[in-house]
Structure 1
Amino acid sequence: MLTLADVEAARRRIASGVPVTPCSESVPLSELCGARIHCKLDSLQRTGSFKERGARNALLLLNAERRARGVIAASAGNHALGLTWHGSLLGIPVTVVMPVNAPLIKVATCRRLGARVILHGEDFAAARVHADEVAAREGLSYVHGFDDPAVIAGQGTVGLEILNQVPDVEAIVVPVGGAGLIAGIALAVKSLRPEVAVHGVEAEHAPSFTAALEAGEPVTVGVQPTLADGLAVGRVGDLAFATARERVDAMTTVDEEALALAVFRLIEVEKTVVEGAGAAPLAALLRGRFPGLAGKRVVLVLAGGNIDLTILDRVIEVGLVEDGRLCRFTAVISDRPGGLATLASLIASTGASIKDIAHDRTFSGPDVSRVRAICIVETSDRDHIRRLFDTISAAGIELIPEAGAP
């Protein structure tokens, strides 16, 4: 089993190549969450995630022969990025096997940093099987992204930094995928400050740690597509689970809308771009998943910032809808002159802004004097939407609420 000494040794070992990231207090997030929130910004690492810590520690522990042959790993992205970057710094050849649906930004960055990238399989499990085959055939050392003792010890350095940066921390909230990060943090924190609570957050679409707790051991669960692609692991690591299970105080899961809203909130109030996995701790607090943390000093581990830019605009729009600042509805109005003007005036009278409007005459029913107007409207919050709907309904206009309706 791993010990605190392993984590402390890892901190000394990686210090020359992995910077200490900020852990700043956030006033706006504190107001939103009802706790004194600090953000541990490991999204600011060179490759955008905490994975650099474990990757560098594992690489530095290889002997000369294994370094010369090179290493291989299966990864959805961030472990591959960390391993590639530090492999290039240390002169160690790196091969990464990534699922075919891995985020394009992570695939492109791995190639740019010099890794041999193999796209194989629909998920991490399939990529792992292929990576094992390549490792055996070519004599490469496999570096597991979350169940290697050197990797877990490296990730635990996040916990040591938090204790130094926020001495009066009362709780740490950690995203959980394969469980290597929470295992390392929990080991370090509970060894030094057992009174500090360690909470974990999974995506609802990948509840592998929750399932392991229920079964008493790691089990395989079905994984659905999730914004938190870095957490999309169907089975937690054996060593990671054994290290974490008695040291984690609470676990929860969060839905996709909460993840999108958390990404949106961090962009809006912290001016920080974080991927879905990294935003999971905030998503849990915004959903009120840990009511016992109210009023306490809490550190959110924002573990990664490598969100695919091709979906960022969609995430922002989902966040706006979830926040009640964008809604869509259909109004059945008169098709005679003035019908649309009346609707527009009613919307304007509430202070809402029309973003888009379209007439649907073909599917508006047999009454040719009526037409459906499909509206997308910007509002300030859900109460504003209610006032808007009340105003339109009071004018005798039939409303059919759709996306964003309260």
Structure 2
Amino acid sequence: MISLNKIIQAKRNIDGFVAKTPFGFAPKLSKIAGADIYLKKENLQITGAYKVRGAFNKIANLDDNAKKCGVVAASAGNHAQGVAISAKHFGVKAIIIMPEAAPLSKVSGTKALGAEVILKGNNFDEAYAYALEYAKDNNMSFIHPFDDELVQAGQGTIALEMLDEVSNLDYMVVPVGGGGLISGVASCAKQINPDIKIIGVSAKGAPAMFESFKDKCQHNSKSVRTIADGIAVRDASQITLSHILECVDEMVQVDDEEIANAILYLLEQQKIMVEGAGAVSVAAILEGKFEFKKSAKIGAILSGGNIDVQTLSIIIEKGLLKSHRKMIINVTLIDKPGALMALGDVLRSTGANIVKIDYDRFSTKLSYGDAKITITLETKGKEHQDTIEKALKDAGYEFTQEF
């Protein structure tokens, strides 16, 4: 495990630059879980994610010659911004290699912090391979996102802050991608209190570390696919796996649907915006992925908040449909004056609010003289939608509903 002295020294290095983020009690989530849940809000970090801790600590430890030559990093986004802002602080040139599919918000954010961005590869691992070559060819220092003790020690400072505020935590729930965060956090927590249970949470669409933990040997994946792009790592690291096997008590998985639900829950109920990777710890709690005593004190790390706006929009739309607050119906009408008004009167009588209407009379699937109407409604729950369906049937309308 990473020595506690290295983590304490990392805390000294980052103090004054990296924010000490809030670690607050979550009453609504606690009521649902039946335990005391505390949220470590790294989404409020200066770059919107915890990664700046490890990046700053690593660059702070470079010698003057290495700083003069510059640094290279590979990242899906959050490590990129952490390296960029840290390099800028020390006056060091930074080249960041990002996957071609990296969210625009993370690419733009990295450039805005003064780094040069090169897009290369279909995923993190392909970007990583190119970054290693680039660093070697240009005599620059490679800042690894997780396979580096100084980086891991920087991430471990999160546990120091959590235990400083709630010293009697029973569990820490930690997102897992490459394993740098949980290596540092688990190493720190277990040395301070060996009785703390460390729960790692990975995305089902990036199963390498979960499978490696389960079988106690390194596994790689053929591909990854998850909305939690911050933990979408294809191959397991032998270095971080060794720390995980030593310090982590349990690993669980959450799928994209569960991650999306957690994002929406945090946004609505906790007024917190997180990205997919940042939501996995809460998803594991909401979905009951691990067992705990009802009196337990649980610290969950929200690792980042740099969510792509388009992804957030899709999650919100799907969430409104699933929670019966939005309803989309398709109705075929005879295309004549007053037909749409009559349909509108039926919907008005139910108290439904029409927010969008699409009127199509040119589809080849329609009979001559018909029109297909797609109506989007704001509704007040399942009972309200049942009322709408009954009113339409009673009025003689045939319809289908989109989910």
Do both share a fold (TM > 0.5)? Answer: yes
* Shift in Å, 1:212: 1.2
Confirm or deny: 8 A CA contact 1:157 1:185 kept in the other structure.
Answer: yes
Q: What corresponds to 1:53 in structure 2? A: 53
Q: Report Cα offsets for 1:76-133 as digits up to 9, x if no partner.
A: 1111111111111122222111111112222222222221221111111111111111
* Shift in Å, 1:28: 3.0
* Shift in Å, 1:254: 2.3
Q: What corresponds to 2:241 in structure 1? A: 241
Q: What corresponds to 1:5 in structure 2? A: 5
* Shift in Å, 1:349: 4.1
Confirm or deny: 8 A CA contact 1:206 1:222 kept in the other structure.
Answer: no
Matches within 5 A, 1:58-97: 58-97=58-97
* Shift in Å, 1:323: 2.9
Which whole-Å CA distance do the structure 1 matches of 2:324 and 2:291 have between them?
23
Confirm or deny: 8 A CA contact 1:84 1:114 kept in the other structure.
Answer: yes
Q: What corresponds to 1:38 in structure 2? A: 38
Change in CA separation of 1:159 and 1:384 when aligned onto 2, cut-off 3 Å: farther
Which whole-Å CA distance do the structure 1 matches of 2:4 and 2:190 have between them?
9
Change in CA separation of 1:285 and 1:392 when aligned onto 2, cut-off 3 Å: farther
Change in CA separation of 1:120 and 1:367 when aligned onto 2, cut-off 3 Å: closer
Question: Is 1:200 the counterpart of 2:200 in the alignment?
Answer: yes
Structure 1 stretches lacking a partner, 5+ long: none
* Shift in Å, 1:346: 4.1
Confirm or deny: 8 A CA contact 1:257 1:322 kept in the other structure.
Answer: no
Q: Report Cα offsets for 1:345-370 as digits up to 9, x if no partner.
A: 44344443222233444559676676
Q: What corresponds to 2:307 in structure 1? A: 307
Which whole-Å CA distance do the structure 1 matches of 2:388 and 2:213 have between them?
46
Which whole-Å CA distance do the structure 1 matches of 2:10 and 2:344 have between them?
63
Which whole-Å CA distance do the structure 2 matches of 1:120 and 1:246 have between them?
34
Equivalent AA in structure 2 for residue 309 of structure 1:
V
Q: Report Cα offsets for 1:362-394 as digits up to 9, x if no partner.
A: 559676676543222222334543443344345
* Shift in Å, 1:12: 2.2
Which whole-Å CA distance do the structure 2 matches of 1:386 and 1:35 have between them?
35
Q: What corresponds to 2:377 in structure 1? A: 377
Which whole-Å CA distance do the structure 2 matches of 1:208 and 1:327 have between them?
38
Equivalent AA in structure 2 for residue 244 of structure 1:
I
Change in CA separation of 1:2 and 1:258 when aligned onto 2, cut-off 3 Å: same
* Shift in Å, 1:148: 0.9
SS at match of 2:267: helix
Change in CA separation of 1:343 and 1:76 when aligned onto 2, cut-off 3 Å: same
Question: Is 1:227 the counterpart of 2:227 in the alignment?
Answer: yes
Q: What corresponds to 1:211 in structure 2? A: 211
Confirm or deny: 8 A CA contact 1:183 1:244 kept in the other structure.
Answer: yes
Change in CA separation of 1:218 and 1:198 when aligned onto 2, cut-off 3 Å: same
Moved more, 119-128 or 25-34: 25-34
Which whole-Å CA distance do the structure 2 matches of 1:182 and 1:352 have between them?
48
Matches within 5 A, 1:269-348: 269-290=269-290, 292=292, 296-332=296-332, 339-348=339-348
Moved more, 150-159 or 328-337: 328-337
Matches within 5 A, 1:127-138: 127-138=127-138
Q: What corresponds to 2:150 in structure 1? A: 150
Equivalent AA in structure 2 for residue 66 of structure 1:
A
SS at match of 2:304: coil
Confirm or deny: 8 A CA contact 2:95 2:118 kept in the other structure.
Answer: yes
Q: Report Cα offsets for 1:198-219 as digits up to 9, x if no partner.
A: 2222222212221212342222
* Shift in Å, 1:325: 1.9
Q: What corresponds to 1:28 in structure 2? A: 28
* Shift in Å, 1:65: 1.9
SS at match of 1:37: strand
Which whole-Å CA distance do the structure 2 matches of 1:50 and 1:294 have between them?
29
Equivalent AA in structure 2 for residue 305 of structure 1:
G
Equivalent AA in structure 1 for residue 157 of structure 2:
T
Structure 2 stretches lacking a partner, 5+ long: none
* Shift in Å, 1:292: 3.4
SS at match of 2:375: strand
SS at match of 2:73: strand
Which whole-Å CA distance do the structure 1 matches of 2:15 and 2:350 have between them?
57
Which whole-Å CA distance do the structure 1 matches of 2:293 and 2:323 have between them?
23
Q: Report Cα offsets for 1:236-276 as digits up to 9, x if no partner.
A: 32221110124323322223233233223322233322112
Change in CA separation of 1:195 and 1:353 when aligned onto 2, cut-off 3 Å: farther
* Shift in Å, 1:310: 4.2
Which whole-Å CA distance do the structure 1 matches of 2:203 and 2:303 have between them?
14
Q: What corresponds to 1:16 in structure 2? A: 16
* Shift in Å, 1:21: 0.8
* Shift in Å, 1:25: 1.4
Confirm or deny: 8 A CA contact 1:261 1:322 kept in the other structure.
Answer: no
Equivalent AA in structure 2 for residue 389 of structure 1:
E
Confirm or deny: 8 A CA contact 1:149 1:239 kept in the other structure.
Answer: no
Which whole-Å CA distance do the structure 1 matches of 2:247 and 2:28 have between them?
30
**TM-score scaled by length of structure 2:** 0.90
Which whole-Å CA distance do the structure 1 matches of 2:163 and 2:390 have between them?
51
Of all paired residues, the percent bearing the same amino acid is 37
Number of equivalent positions: 403
SS at match of 1:217: coil
* Shift in Å, 1:327: 2.7
Matches within 5 A, 1:356-367: 356-362=356-362
SS at match of 1:24: strand
SS at match of 1:301: strand
Change in CA separation of 1:298 and 1:127 when aligned onto 2, cut-off 3 Å: same
Which whole-Å CA distance do the structure 1 matches of 2:290 and 2:147 have between them?
27
Confirm or deny: 8 A CA contact 1:364 1:370 kept in the other structure.
Answer: no
